[in-house]
Structure 1
Amino acid sequence: MDRYTKGFVVAALVYFFLAALLGIWMGGTDAAGWVRFGHVHFNLLGFMTMMIYGVGYFILPRFNGRPLHWPSLVPIHFYIANIGLIGMVATAPERPSTGFILFSALSVVSAGMFAVNLGATMLIEPSSAEETSSSSSVASATEGKPIGASSSAPAGASEDKSEDKTEGAVPSATTPQAAQKVDPDMRVGEILTRWPQTVDVFVGHGFASLASPEHREQVKQIPITLRMACQRHNVDLDYMMSELNEAISPSFAAKATSAATEGGLAGKAKAKSPKGKLAKGETIGADHILGEILGAYPETEKVFRKYYGDGCFSCPGQATESVKQSAMMHNVSEKQLLTELNHAAGF
């Protein structure tokens, strides 16, 4: 969690404690009316609402596989929400008053900021790198120049071009295609759809379930980005991207090698081998991914259905969560789950 997302959760716990204190005061004495007001609003606008803000900012963008649409608004939202609530409780004895109305308005504005920001995150498609490259392609075409050409070309450019043609250089018409490459914020499903040849790269890095055509179709519907998938599988993102881009076009092989030499990528690749995938005949462990288990042992489906229900097979977590993570999230005994999974797999 970032600073302000965590701040919402911490604030929620503080307000919960304050509400509990006011509740004890109300129960033990004939407290004033503002005490009841503070108790109710510290619970509703403090504990419950602040917790929703913090958890919502953290989970919903990740679940949708998109960054928050306006992250710069989160700090502003944090201060407005807290100032509004504290001001409302402080001016409650004077209500209705100008101060109370202003602080109440701040609380309403803070709720609106949250709804608009998350609504935009879920409903508005983020602009992709493809749109940027395509717009630059159009701009270059209207100027009558190839993509990436400089207005201040060297004097001998025409001679160089003629020499390139005689030496069998790639024509400029192929330049837009060669410029396409994988972006870390692309969805895994989009990569698989545009470049089916990348399946072997994913499988080689531990995404064993993607070897199944049926599972690939499911993943294409899941809004999980390459960056998120690599984090969950403990795969080096830079190394993964270099291999994906190499699989897309041979021209990227030279670029990946050059980048490895300059930035030490080759050393990282050697030091960090791809995570092993679950193979048929191998026992199921706590760190194996649910989708990999289903791909290697389809008969384990009944065990997952027993503990997680039918929703497990359409859940985005299937492609990224391990047995350990899913057991913790569903409050299921990890040991019992592994025992039943291995029994179903024939061990």
Structure 2
Amino acid sequence: MAEGITIRQTNDRIIATIDGLPAGGQAGARPFIIPVFIPMSGCLHRCAFCNQTAITGVKPHAISPSAVTHAIDTFLPFVRDRGRTVQIAFYGGNFLGLPEQHLHDLLAIATAHVTRGDVASIRFSTRPDTITENRLAAIRDFPVHTIELGVQSMDDRVLARAKRGHNAQCTVNAARMVASAGYELGLQMMTGLPGDTPRRAIQTARKLVALAPDFVRIYPTLVLRQSRLAEAFRSGAFIPASLHETIALVSRLLLVFAAAHIPVIRMGLQADEALAAPGAILAGPYHPALGERVHSHLFYRLAKAALARAPRRSHASTIRVHPRHLSRMIGAGRENLSRLKTHFHLENLSVQADAGVTPHHLEVDIAPSPIALK
């Protein structure tokens, strides 16, 4: 049986579920994020994979207080649901690596909006090696709610080849300090880094689970222009993972986190104009809807596991899913159905949308039933 998938059988159907994934999805309503990009700011290391300008479209610079105010004022009108939590997020750099006065200036501007009631709190991403008692003390009086750590890997060999400048134990220490200080903890991991393998990525996921984060993000490695990986790619020293390999691996990672009831709030970089610009991505498993492709692959795995248990009484089978997951089950270009029909030598395979099926579950009829979609 595939890790993270449970199969049970009733008199007339086989039910496949993802262990730990709630019926309503992975998480409740997410906060509305007002992003403030500080690309490369506070970064003392140049990681092999990084080029924040290619990701955000913003050139490295010390962001000014007026730019922060402009970013916040630009996004606030888009908050339609006043009951939804709103957070100001500092992304793209090493936030706690900023000079202390600059750190305070940025937090003070964001805090003013919290005080006025425009937003609920502040969040930021930072490197694990910037989490110290002194740095946490420096932000204690500000309404920071969420701290995300750029972990990338929990394998020291992979971290060294990525030029991260810290080891896995540093992440363990930082995560414990963030959680002990009462902040919501987010952990970000990458796949496909130099020296990484699917086995090492799964081990990283399990080690992150042991740190009990409130959520995680998974970012497959891309070869971005003007990064160190770009040089390695051009010389043939680095070959990125394919999209097919990445979808399969990230789906396994998703199962690891789901089984531990840890939400995965993003898979892959956010699609935007900067990434879509010609030459921004030289190679790698980029897809603007990677998360959707991963979920579709998971439904393929669920169906495959369920159909393997179904009696071979005919050359036809019917799969039932919740209506909102119909397209995920069918797959892009009906890929999932084609693969399943070939694997199980089925002449007909149908998918029915059934509101009675629990979301993120799948049922295979083992009693005769009409075919709804061929």
Q: TM-score, normalised to structure 1's length?
A: 0.22
Structure of greater relative contact order (alpha carbons < 8 Å, 6+ residues apart): 2
Larger radius of gyration, structure 1 or 2?
Answer: 1
- TM-score normalised by L of structure 2: 0.21
- Which protein is richer in strand relative to its size? 2
